[in-house]
Amino acid sequence: MNYWWVNQGRTWKHEYRGGFLWAPYENDAGKPCWHWDTMDGLKKGDHVFSYVRGKIVSVSKVKSSSYKSQKPKKFTEWYRDGRRCDVIYKLLNRPIFINEHIDDIRPLLPNVRSPLQKNGRGNQIYLVQLNQELGEYFINFFNENILFYDNAQLGETEDVEQVIPQDDGDDERRTVTVEVTRVVRDTRLSKDIKRQYGYKCQICGISINTTTEAGKYAEAAHIKPLEKMGDDKKDNIICLCPNHHTMLDYGSISINDDYTLLGEDGALHTDHRLNKDNLKYHRDHIYNNTND
């Protein structure tokens, strides 16, 4: 696996939203530029660090080699034809501010074609390959499981296998096509909760088989959302399948203090204590707002 550095100050928003990298074939003088030609060196599985205004904000995984592509519609510079490479972006919760790490980074910078000057300022280049030492320095800031969907981008679909427990003790297996609609936070505490419940939804018991390291997939759902000042603590987190996680987030269902459900028959099966203030907040401000 190779590591790369891409400068995306002006193009970051469009490239991130579109899930791609793009560079023209020629400059205004009709000549190629080496830091655009590097697009041809990208290989499937490579990692590319996105540098935006003094900080690294994400790492992207290359989905395929670059290919000829017209200039994106929202790009206002350069010629019509260029190269595009489709990637999967993985955002950092806290960006890597280069000025905070320059003393550690400086000895690892290459002598030629470096993405950074010795003082930490970025060079005027687009895409450059990093040496293994510098790439590994940056990759350590990323959780390797920051995204579950390694083969899909937001809006795309992926086939997964569901295992549904039956009353007779047997499991029904079926393959369904799911759409990637969001990025799911996956902290160490979230992983602990999912492991505690064997990656089975605490409402329906569904387990999704995958090819990931864990072998199964479930989502850690916050009862009181973090953006509403909810705690990132165990008593505010439950293990759910993607369907029930979405229903909880959008207020289609909620949970009583005795763990019976609102909006759906059944109950939440839990072996850990939940904060009843958070349950009440969800009923009052999320569930009731959509069911008035």
Tokens of 219: 């989502």
Helices (H), the chain: 12-18, 34-37, 102-105, 132-139, 188-196, 242-249, 276-282, 288-291
What pLDDT sits at residue 278? 95
Rounded to 5 degrees, φ, ψ at 287 are -70, -50
Per-residue pLDDT of the chain (292 residues; tens, 9 = 90+): 799 999 998 888 888 888 899 999 988 788 899 999 999 999 988 999 999 999 999 999 898 899 998 888 778 677 678 899 999 888 887 899 999 999 999 999 988 999 999 888 889 999 999 999 999 899 888 765 454 334 444 455 555 555 566 667 666 666 666 555 544 555 678 888 999 999 999 999 998 887 665 678 889 999 998 777 788 789 999 999 988 998 999 899 999 999 999 999 999 999 999 999 999 999 999 997 765 5
First to last CA, the chain: 53
Domains and CATH numbers, the chain: 3-139 (3.10.590.10), 157-291 (no CATH)
- Distance (Å, whole) CA 54 – CA 117: 12
What pLDDT sits at residue 18? 86
Instruction: State how beta strands 171-179 and 157-165 pair.
Output: antiparallel
What pLDDT sits at residue 57? 92
What pLDDT sits at residue 225? 87
DSSP codes of every residue in 186-229: --HHHHHHHHHTTT--TTT--EEE-SSSSSEE-EEEESS-GGGT
Tokens of 279: 């349950």
Q: What is the CB neighbour count within 10 angstroms for residue 192?
A: 12
